[in-house]
Structure 1
Amino acid sequence: MDSRRPLAALLSPLISQLLILFLLLLPSSSSTNPLSIPNSTFENALQWNLLSIITHFVTTAEIAASFFLFPTRDRKRRRLTSSTTDNHRSIHITRDPDVCKLFFRMTSSTFEWLSGLLEPLLDCRDPIDSPLNLSSEIRLAIALFRLSSGADYPDISRRFNVSEPSARFCVKQFCRVLCTNFRFWVGFPNPAELIPVSAAFETLTGLPNCCGVISCTRFDIVGETSSENRSSIAAQIVVDSSSRILNIVAGFRGETQNFQILQSSTLCKDIESGDLLDSPPIHINGIPVPQYLVGLRSYPLLNWLVVPYSNDHEVGSEEEKLNNALGLMRPAAMRTIASLKKWGALSKPIEAEKKMAVAYIGACSILHNVLLMRDEEDSGMEQEGLKLDEESFDDFNGESNFEEDCRALDIRRVLGTRIK
């Protein structure tokens, strides 16, 4: 803030009072009247008009100066909108909810909420040699537009009237801030937070103590320098029944088998070491059933990971009922993956290096949970999309290195007796 503005606000009242006092001390008549009209009424009226005019301007300056002492967010807030000129769409600032939904995949109220939350973090990380001089809202708009639409940087540069390096910096900064400061939004729940997660799954299927559905998906990557340099990376997610992401890890080579990703993940290590899913088990028919996750057939059967029976079973058997119940849980993961791939930056081959592509996946995952938290994410998904994803998951089968645990067979068997 300019240090002269508070000083102006303090001096203005003093100057105002001095001028008024000076005018009041003037004689009611003047011998030097340039018009030589000895009319005291005219002189008094003139003196009063001058007094009113000077008081008005001084008081107005005083009020204007005082506003600088109390800046409000509304004075600097910009609005986001779109306009069409010469067949090119450009982004400006507005409150139009449809425009925000179109360009940023969220309503204007969520955009403003997110902007206020991230403002101190987005404003304090400019390049040292060339500060951007962009508001936090514009930085946020650039990053969200890149993620939601998948637009390339030349297009973003034209729309926002910024240089391409500035647009790249805004996107990279936003992803770094989200993945560093707000990764707890996709952190695995603590024991108390897992209670409603398990209750929701039990309401859905009758299976108790389930703490999430685990699955994998793949994203294609194409380097920005060469369209022929294509590869893919895999991401492993755990979700609850509402499709909220409870855990995500990305960056594995795309051809890696699902069980290999699981085996290499910190999630598996934390569960195996007793740091996660460590609440006391429940007992069904004398068998202790610990907290567990549900996976596809491409995963191994473990005492903390329940997968469907692989062979066909008689109609109405407990094995078939269990498979059907697990099938009711799988769409939660399918919806989450479909939602992630609705983000423009992830819906096509990601034009970024691997490290930045992983940051895109992490940022979109956090935003997915944010939109769910604010009741803005779609809960439904076309059956065709779910089927395609399911087929792609089942392609990644392989021999597991996990040791078979006879307890896992007992756990799966007794769970079949609790199906609704």
Structure 2
Amino acid sequence: MGPIRGNRKRKRGDKKSDENGYGSAASECSLDWWDDFSRRLREGGHQSPMKSLDKFELIFKISRKTFTYICSLVKDDLTSKSREFTFLNGRLLSLHDQVAVALRRLGTGDSLAAIAGSFGLNNSTVSQVTWRFVQALEQRALHHLSWPSTELEMVEIKSKFQKFQGLPNCCGVVDTTHITMLLSTSDPTSNVWLDGEENYSMVLQVIVDPEMRFLDIVTGWPGKMDDWAVFQNSTFQKLCENGERLNGKKVVQQLTEIREYIIGDSGFPLLPYLMVPYENELSDGSSEFNRRHLGTRLVAQRALARLKGSWKIIRGQMWRPDRHRMPRVVLACCLLHNIAIDMEDEVQAAIPLSLDEHDSGYRQQICGSVFDMKGAEMRDELSLYLSQRLPS
């Protein structure tokens, strides 16, 4: 399967979308379901692998409100299929049961056997339910992952970025992380996925807003691809080159005209719409630019740390994953990440972040082969502007 890109229109989770059954009645159903579900797990002797069964948030790492909303999104897809899944005792899995199984699998990264033992299911049932959930989420939740479609949305993003570290007209932060896999060394096709750190991996590129929401993603490329190469093969880059993205209003700052742009680390190319840090000897102005640039860039590292901390199926080494399905699993995790933000989920927001976890063991890449004069002029203008501002 080729690289997956996310760029559809987003709808906030707190807006009305009751055509899928989201509302107070669904919330009550969710609470009733949890009471019954946790009781059946205890009675079935499957309590030991799952601690604090009375604590919903500790099990699923999301609030009941977010869980119910997710159920409303995938309801039609998970209940319209003719195939019926059952527990080992013969009882049918409800909509809520299926969502619980899938979220547990994606959230913990535990093996099929471990999840099956916890819920009283067959391994194959866990696998099929999770995949059906991923497919349903891909169809029903893409509106939660998109580039801003209105000027008002973009103005809000740029305003928040400027409040962070003073960067004017900044529209996002781009970064990458590696999804590692455990593949068979005897399979010659595995070498395609062997990266520079001698891991089998797939790369994920994201563009992030000030709230750590993903605005655009690319995944599916082998982890050995350089960051700059992934970016230059992305739809986002092509849209920018064609003037269809980052083409909004320019800002005039002290007679300097500054266009819209995103920022990234030294692994990305310097372009008129992509600002990267200065290298080599630094003047006072370029040092100030680098300081503010780094402070703003941390939002992407935090977003990726939360993604991998919340949906652990993509944090550790995945055991011989289906490499055609894997990009769609990654997309599903990114959608769940954004849904939690759009739902203002306090449980997700409280998860501790460890910035080292999102790409531990990978060295900083340096893109030295691509240089754009207009990009350099744009960066110098930004540097001059920032050097004349009071330190933030």
Query: Taking structure 2 as the reference length, what is the TM-score of the superposition?
Result: 0.77
Asked if structure 2 preserves the Cα contact closer than 8 Å seen for 1:350 and 1:357, the reply is no
C-alpha displacement of 1:389: 5.3
Say which SS state the counterpart of residue 203 (structure 2) adopts: strand
Q: Give the Cα–Cα distance (whole angstroms) in 2 for the partners of residues 388 and 160 of structure 1.
A: 29
When residues 335 and 157 of structure 1 are mapped into structure 2, their CA distance, relative to the original with a 3 A threshold, is: same
Say which SS state the counterpart of residue 313 (structure 2) adopts: coil
Residue of structure 1 aligned with 2:296, choices 314, 329, 345: 329
Q: Give the Cα–Cα distance (whole angstroms) in 2 for the partners of residues 274 and 281 of structure 1.
A: 13
Higher relative contact order (CA 8 A, sep 6+): 2
Residue of structure 2 aligned with 1:259, choices 218, 228, 232: 228
Partner of 1:62: none
Is the counterpart of residue 359 in structure 1 residue 328 in structure 2? yes
C-alpha displacement of 1:112: 2.1
Q: Give the Cα–Cα distance (whole angstroms) in 1 for the partners of residues 278 and 183 of structure 2.
A: 41
1:381-407 CA-to-partner distances (Å, cap 9, x unmatched) read 55xx42565885653224434644354
Asked if structure 2 preserves the Cα contact closer than 8 Å seen for 1:287 and 1:414, the reply is no
Partner of 2:72: 116
Is the counterpart of residue 196 in structure 1 residue 156 in structure 2? yes
Say which SS state the counterpart of residue 249 (structure 2) adopts: coil
Say which SS state the counterpart of residue 299 (structure 1) adopts: coil
C-alpha displacement of 1:111: 1.4
Asked if structure 2 preserves the Cα contact closer than 8 Å seen for 1:216 and 1:258, the reply is yes
Q: Give the Cα–Cα distance (whole angstroms) in 2 for the partners of residues 220 and 296 of structure 1.
A: 21
Letter in 2 for 1:341: K
Asked if structure 2 preserves the Cα contact closer than 8 Å seen for 1:335 and 1:380, the reply is no
Say which SS state the counterpart of residue 48 (structure 2) adopts: strand
Q: Give the Cα–Cα distance (whole angstroms) in 2 for the partners of residues 280 and 75 of structure 1.
A: 47
Q: Give the Cα–Cα distance (whole angstroms) in 1 for the partners of residues 385 and 230 of structure 2.
A: 26
Say which SS state the counterpart of residue 175 (structure 2) adopts: strand
Asked if structure 2 preserves the Cα contact closer than 8 Å seen for 1:287 and 1:410, the reply is no
Asked if structure 2 preserves the Cα contact closer than 8 Å seen for 1:278 and 1:291, the reply is yes
Q: Give the Cα–Cα distance (whole angstroms) in 2 for the partners of residues 350 and 282 of structure 1.
A: 45
When residues 408 and 348 of structure 1 are mapped into structure 2, their CA distance, relative to the original with a 3 A threshold, is: same
Is the counterpart of residue 238 in structure 1 residue 207 in structure 2? yes
Query: Taking structure 1 as the reference length, what is the TM-score of the superposition?
Result: 0.72
C-alpha displacement of 1:135: 1.5
Partner of 1:291: 260
Say which SS state the counterpart of residue 179 (structure 2) adopts: strand
Residue of structure 2 aligned with 1:89, choices 38, 41, 48: 48
Partner of 1:149: 108
Partner of 1:346: 314
Q: Give the Cα–Cα distance (whole angstroms) in 2 for the partners of residues 333 and 88 of structure 1.
A: 37
C-alpha displacement of 1:265: 0.6
When residues 396 and 125 of structure 1 are mapped into structure 2, their CA distance, relative to the original with a 3 A threshold, is: farther
C-alpha displacement of 1:363: 1.1
Greater gyration radius: 1
Letter in 1 for 2:228: F
Q: Give the Cα–Cα distance (whole angstroms) in 2 for the partners of residues 324 and 244 of structure 1.
A: 23
Letter in 1 for 2:264: G
Letter in 2 for 1:148: G
Q: 5+ residue gaps in structure 1?
A: 1-71
C-alpha displacement of 1:275: 1.6
When residues 274 and 167 of structure 1 are mapped into structure 2, their CA distance, relative to the original with a 3 A threshold, is: same
Q: Give the Cα–Cα distance (whole angstroms) in 2 for the partners of residues 395 and 75 of structure 1.
A: 48
C-alpha displacement of 1:145: 0.5
1:210-264 CA-to-partner distances (Å, cap 9, x unmatched) read 0011111101012599999672000101111221111111111101111001000
Q: Give the Cα–Cα distance (whole angstroms) in 1 for the partners of residues 58 and 148 of structure 2.
A: 32
Partner of 2:179: 219
Letter in 2 for 1:206: G
Letter in 1 for 2:312: G
Superposition pairs of residues 95-106 of structure 1, within 5 angstroms: 96=54, 98=55, 100-106=56-62
When residues 313 and 141 of structure 1 are mapped into structure 2, their CA distance, relative to the original with a 3 A threshold, is: same
Q: Number of paired residues? A: 340
Q: Give the Cα–Cα distance (whole angstroms) in 2 for the partners of residues 233 and 189 of structure 1.
A: 27
| % identity of equivalent residues | 23
When residues 171 and 366 of structure 1 are mapped into structure 2, their CA distance, relative to the original with a 3 A threshold, is: same
When residues 380 and 105 of structure 1 are mapped into structure 2, their CA distance, relative to the original with a 3 A threshold, is: closer
1:110-168 CA-to-partner distances (Å, cap 9, x unmatched) read 212322332122212344xx666532111101100101111211222233233322221
When residues 268 and 87 of structure 1 are mapped into structure 2, their CA distance, relative to the original with a 3 A threshold, is: same
C-alpha displacement of 1:378: 2.7
Residue of structure 2 aligned with 1:378, choices 346, 349, 366: 349
1:1-46 CA-to-partner distances (Å, cap 9, x unmatched) read xxxxxxxxxxxxxxxxxxxxxxxxxxxxxxxxxxxxxxxxxxxxxx
Asked if structure 2 preserves the Cα contact closer than 8 Å seen for 1:224 and 1:353, the reply is no
Say which SS state the counterpart of residue 147 (structure 1) adopts: helix
Say which SS state the counterpart of residue 116 (structure 2) adopts: helix
Residue of structure 1 aligned with 2:246, choices 277, 283, 289: 277
Q: 5+ residue gaps in structure 2?
A: 1-24, 87-91, 191-198
Letter in 1 for 2:314: L
Partner of 1:416: 386
Q: Which stretch shifts more, 105-114 or 196-205?
A: 105-114
